[in-house]
Amino acid sequence: MKRIRALSVAVTVIVAALAVWGSSSSAHSGAATGKPIEIGVAIDFSALMAPTDDPALYGAEIEAAKINAAGGVGGRPIKFMVENTQLKPVQTRSDALNLVSKGANVLWVTCDVDFSTPSIEVGLAAHLLTVSPCIGTDQMGPKRFGSQGQLAYSFGNVAQDEGAADAQIAKKQGWKTADVVIDKQIVYNQDVCQAFISKFQALGGKVLTTQTWTQGDHTIGNVANRVDATHPAVIQVCTTGAPDISTFLSDIRSAGNMTPMLAPWSLDGTWWMPKSAKIDTNVWTDSYASIYGDDPNAQVRAMIAKLKAEGHAPTTGGFVTGAAAIDGIVAAIKNDGGSLAGAKLAAAMQKFHDLPTLSGNVSFSATQHTVFGRDYRVLEVVNGQGHFKYLINASGGS
C-alpha cells in the first residue's frame, strides 16, 4: 500500500466536535488560525498493519478537516505530523522520538499494542496522551504499562468484548459447534478467541478443537487439514491477516469444505481473501462499519463517499475509529478547559461514558482504556461480495 505525502501534513476538520467544544468555539466561524494542536502519527503504511492503520488515519484527517474549517478547537487547528514506521521496532521508536522532538501534543500509534509498544513507551515517557484509533486489547493502558499507562487509550473495541460478540453471532446464526483457530503472533488474536470460547460455551456451544499456529511458521496448511477433518458448524479464526489466513481459506474451500468462517474485525474487508474466482469465501466478521455501501448510518456512508473521492477507498471499517479518536481528543480538550497536558487529557478521557462519535458511543473507565459496550456491525462476504447483516452487542442485544 503506497502513500505519497509530506511527513508533516496539516489537515482541517469539524463534525460533532464543534458541538463538543461548545460555546467557546461559537465565535470562530471561519477556518482556525490559532496555534496548531500537533498530533504526531507513528503508524505503518507498508507492512502487516497498513490495511488497518491507513483507513483510520484517512478517517481522522477528514474529521479533522471539518473541525478546522469551522473554527478548529477553540480557534486552534488540528495538524498531523506523520511517520511511516514500516512496523520495524527500532524505527517505530525512532519515529516516535522524532515526533516528540518536533513538538507533538498527542502521540498516535499503530493499531496493535505489541507492534506499537516501542512508540507507546516513548509517548508515555514524554507524558503525552498516547492514542491508538483501533488497538483491540485491554493492554492499552495500566494493565500493560503500569502507572504510566494512565495516559494510554484506544478507540478500538476491547478484545474480550469482541470475542463475546462473535459468540453472540454464532448463537444468532444457529451454529452450535466450532473449531477455533488462533494465530499466536500477537496477544489480540489470543484474547479474542479465548473470549469467544468462554462465551460460546456459556451459550451452550461446543468447541470441537482448538488449533494454533504463528503467522509465517509454515504450518497453516497442517492446521487447515486438521480443521477440514472435524466438520464444525463454524470456524472461528483469530488473526491479523495475510498471507497465512488467505492460504487457510483457500485450502479449506479447495477441499470442498464450505463451513462458514467467523472472524473479528481484523479480517474485515476482502483485501486478504484469495483472488481466485473459484473460491466461495463465505466469511462472517464483526466490524465498526460496513464498507460495502450499505452501512445503516448515513454519516458513515457519506464519509466512505468522501474517502473514495480522495482516492482512499477504505479497506476495512476502521476508518470510523480514526474519526472517533479525533472526536475523543477534541472532547477531552474541551472537558479539561483547553489544556494539552497529557495527564489532564487522560483524566478527561477516563470519564467518557457513551460519548457520541461516528463509530458509536464510546466509554472508558479507570481500568479499561479500550472501548467497551459499543455495537458491532455484522458483515458477510459471499463470493467476494460483502453485505451488512445486522447490529449486535457483546451483551447479546441486536
pLDDT band at 364 (very low <50, low <70, confident <90, very high): very high
> Is residue 122 one of the residues assigned to a domain?
yes
**Percent residues over pLDDT 70 in the chain:** 91
Range in 118-127, 201-210, 325-334, 366-375 the model is least confident about:
366-375
Q: Which residue has the higher pLDDT, 34 or 153?
A: 153
Structural domains counted in the chain = 2
pLDDT above 50 for 217: yes
Measured CA to CA, the distance from residue 208 to residue 232 in angstroms comes to 7
- Give the model's pLDDT for residue 15: 33
User: Looking at the structure, do residues 128 and 258 belong to the same domain, yes or no?
Assistant: no
Using one digit for the tens of pLDDT, what is the confidence trace for 180-197? 999 999 999 999 999 999
User: Looking at the structure, do residues 101 and 183 belong to the same domain, yes or no?
Assistant: no
Q: Is 185 helix (H, G, I), strand (E, B) or coil?
A: coil
- Give the model's pLDDT for residue 278: 61
- Domain with 62 in it: what CATH number? 3.40.50.2300
Strand order across the beta sheet in which 129-132 lies: 8-10, 78-84, 37-43, 106-109, 129-132, 152-157, 370-371
Q: Which residues contact 8 (CB under 8 A, 6 or more apart)?
A: 79, 80, 81, 82, 102
**Percent residues over pLDDT 90 in the chain:** 83
Name the grid cell of 336.
Answer: 479539561
Query: Which run of H or of E encompasses 19?
Result: helix 16-21
> Is residue 398 one of the residues assigned to a domain?
no
pLDDT above 50 for 336: yes
User: Looking at the structure, do residues 301 and 365 belong to the same domain, yes or no?
Assistant: yes
pLDDT band at 281 (very low <50, low <70, confident <90, very high): confident
Q: Which domain, by its residues, includes 357?
A: 8-158+296-374
> Is residue 72 one of the residues assigned to a domain?
yes
Range in 140-149, 271-280, 358-367 the model is least confident about:
271-280
pLDDT above 90 for 240: no
pLDDT above 50 for 10: no
- Give the model's pLDDT for residue 25: 36
User: Looking at the structure, do residues 341 and 384 belong to the same domain, yes or no?
Assistant: no
> Is residue 54 one of the residues assigned to a domain?
yes
> Is residue 176 one of the residues assigned to a domain?
yes
Beta strands in 120-264 (DSSP E): 129-132, 152-157, 177-183, 206-213, 234-238, 261-263
- Give the model's pLDDT for residue 394: 79
- Give the model's pLDDT for residue 159: 93
- Give the model's pLDDT for residue 17: 35
pLDDT band at 8 (very low <50, low <70, confident <90, very high): very low
> Is residue 3 one of the residues assigned to a domain?
no
User: Looking at the structure, do residues 136 and 165 belong to the same domain, yes or no?
Assistant: no
User: Looking at the structure, do residues 264 and 308 belong to the same domain, yes or no?
Assistant: no
- Give the model's pLDDT for residue 33: 78
pLDDT above 50 for 263: yes
Using one digit for the tens of pLDDT, what is the confidence trace for 286-313? 999 999 999 999 999 999 999 999 999 9
User: Looking at the structure, do residues 86 and 26 belong to the same domain, yes or no?
Assistant: yes
> Is residue 234 one of the residues assigned to a domain?
yes
Using one digit for the tens of pLDDT, what is the confidence trace for 29-45? 467 778 999 999 999 99
User: Looking at the structure, do residues 167 and 141 belong to the same domain, yes or no?
Assistant: no
User: Looking at the structure, do residues 220 and 151 belong to the same domain, yes or no?
Assistant: no
- Give the model's pLDDT for residue 4: 37
Name the grid cell of 371.
Answer: 472501548
pLDDT above 60 for 97: yes
What is the helix, strand, coil percentage profile of the chain, to 5?
A: 40, 20, 40
pLDDT above 60 for 3: no
User: Looking at the structure, do residues 66 and 144 belong to the same domain, yes or no?
Assistant: yes
User: Looking at the structure, do residues 354 and 382 belong to the same domain, yes or no?
Assistant: no
> Is residue 368 one of the residues assigned to a domain?
yes
- Give the model's pLDDT for residue 277: 56
User: Looking at the structure, do residues 36 and 136 belong to the same domain, yes or no?
Assistant: yes
| Interval 249-278 mean pLDDT | 90
Mean pLDDT across the chain, nearest whole number?
90
Query: Which run of H or of E encompasses 80?
Result: strand 78-84
- Give the model's pLDDT for residue 384: 84
